[in-house]
Amino acid sequence: MAQSSKRAKSGWSRRKFLQTAGVAVATIAFPEIIISCGPQSNPTPAAVIPKARKGASIRLLQWTSFVKQADDEFKRQAAEWGAANGVTVAIETVTGDQLQPKTAAAVEASSGPDIIQMQYAWPQLYTNSCVDLTNDVNILIGKLGKPDPVNEAYCKVDGVWRAMPYTIVPNAWSYRTDYFGQAGVSSFPATWDEFTIAAGKLKTTGKPISQTDGHAYGDSLTMWNPVLWGFGGKEVNADGKTVAINSQETRNAIKWAQGAVKAGFVVHPEWLDPDNNQAYHADRISATLNGASIYIREKVEFHHYTDVTNNAPMPSGPKGTFAMNLIFNHAVMKWSPDVETARAMLLHLMDKDQYMKWTTIAGGYNAGPFDAFHNDPVFTTDPKLKAFQDVIAPGKWPGWPAAPSKKTAQSQTQFIVADMFAKALANGGTGDIEAAVAAAETSLKAIFERP
């Protein structure tokens, strides 16, 4: 009696317990079986396709792409969609550096563009101003497959899609095959150690391999974070709280960089993003890390070194191959009076046919952030562009392995990793390693270990 009374109170029978436990185990072990059995077989079960409101007005703010024709195509597609749906569309483009203050001002005033391009971890910074786009991203996942993990890491905040994956600007090495040949280097180095040897040989040609270690918005971050990761170093642990820069791995990365500089790799703390492009176009260097803009401008406009320019992915370190690319996504802002129309427009622009027209015109400067774009012919039509496709898979984000957050964004904005390398690479690669690491650790602790 007492036992049956207890069962009645708890509502659990042995049979019910076994049923529940069995389902739970099966769910954990074979989730795809459960998913395919239920109504969730459709990846977008509750997806509601947003509709444009006739008479609405949508303003989108994003950076000025290197490829002007690609910007024009983007604007054309948006205008075409606007005309078809009775929506007035305005696309405003500003430089990458100008996008941040404009976004900050819009967020502060809760007023401004309906859609803003989010660079890197901005969805984490401006979470409260970004509309939940989970429904819309699920629609895209259903059509285009898995999103790129880096775009996903940036767009998803606490499990909610606060931005829609838009594009990747891959960063690879552009190099002069003629100077490499003269120096006896048959191909671009596959490892960082080979890179040091090649840098030494290229030095004899008077056209060194060069890169910035200053505060370049793109080129500095995309260089020094992957070097750090390649040797096993990291700014912070995966918990996003424990600073881990003070390690032997970090020292190994810095020692490699010092060795490369002593051998002949030339670093320029004064260079910003355009400077390595100019140095390459002016025939002053033999290789540099950049987006595809150097190669594309040679190919399309200058025609000086097109035939003797090739591109190569990032070399590997002892812990593997790592890369960092520029990641841009779109957020619909909460103050927009036409959120649904803005969502509908973004979905249209991410439609595969539309999107591939845009990447074709971008000529390899942009890559799509979903599985469906992985075979984009733009990277195979010209084999020299394949390197830019190859750097997408090993891509990570500043602060990795910690998830992107306000704190990783702050560390990135302060160029802590780049500054650490720059300190150690001062005076021809003879800077004080311990002082450089200590300074980076102090700065990182001020960010990550703050409550």
Q: Which residues bind another protein (CB under 8 A)?
A: 59, 61, 63-68, 71, 90, 92-96, 98, 101-102, 104-106, 108-113, 169, 218-219, 273-274, 277-278, 281-284, 290-291, 293, 297, 301-302, 304, 365
Cβ closer to another protein: 125 or 263? Answer: 125
Cβ atoms 169, 291 nearer than 8 A: yes
Q: How far is the CB of 109 from another protein (least distance, A)?
A: 4
Let me know the angle formed at the C-alpha of 297 by 295 and 299, rounded to the nearest 5 degrees: 65
SS3 at position 330: strand
Distance in angstroms (rounded) separating the CA atoms of residues 34 and 12: 23
Give CA separation, 270 vs 255, 317, 425, in Å. Answer: 22, 26, 13
Nearer to another protein, 297 or 352 (CB): 297
Please say which residue, 105 or 238, places its beta carbon nearer to another protein.
Answer: 105
Q: How far is the CB of 60 from another protein (least distance, A)?
A: 11
Q: Is the dihedral of CA 283, 289, 294, 298 positive or negative?
A: positive
Q: What is the gyration radius of the CA atoms in the chain, in angstroms?
A: 25
Nearer to another protein among residue 124 and residue 288 (C-beta): 288
Q: State CA 208 to chain mean position distance.
A: 28
User: C-beta of 278: minimal distance to another protein in Å?
Assistant: 7
Please check whether residue 372 is in contact with residue 352, taking contact to mean a CB–CB distance below 8 angstroms.
yes
Instruction: Choose between 135 and 306: whose C-beta lies nearer to another protein.
Output: 306
Shortest approach of another protein to residue 67 CB, angstroms? Answer: 7
Q: What is the dihedral of CA 123, 129, 131, 133, to 10 degrees?
A: 0
Cβ of residue 36: shortest distance to another protein, in angstroms?
Answer: 44
Distance, CA of 44 to CA of 449 (rounded, Å): 39
Residue (332 or 362) nearer to another protein, CB: 362
User: Is residue 126 a contact partner of residue 93, using CB atoms and an 8 Å limit?
Assistant: no
Q: Which two tokens stand for residue 23?
A: 């389902």
Contact 244, 409 (CB under 8 A): no
Closest approach, Cβ 73 to another protein, in A, equals 14
94 vs 308 by CB, closer to another protein:
94
Single-letter amino acid code for the residue at 326? L
Nearer to another protein, 4 or 95 (CB): 95
CA gap 45, 140 in Å, rounded: 13
Structure token digits, residue 166 = 């838009």
312-332 residues labelled b (16+ CB within 10 A) or e (exposed): bbbbbbeeebbbbbbbbbbbb
* Shortest Cβ 273–another protein spacing (Å): 4
Least distance between another protein and beta carbon 365 (Å): 8
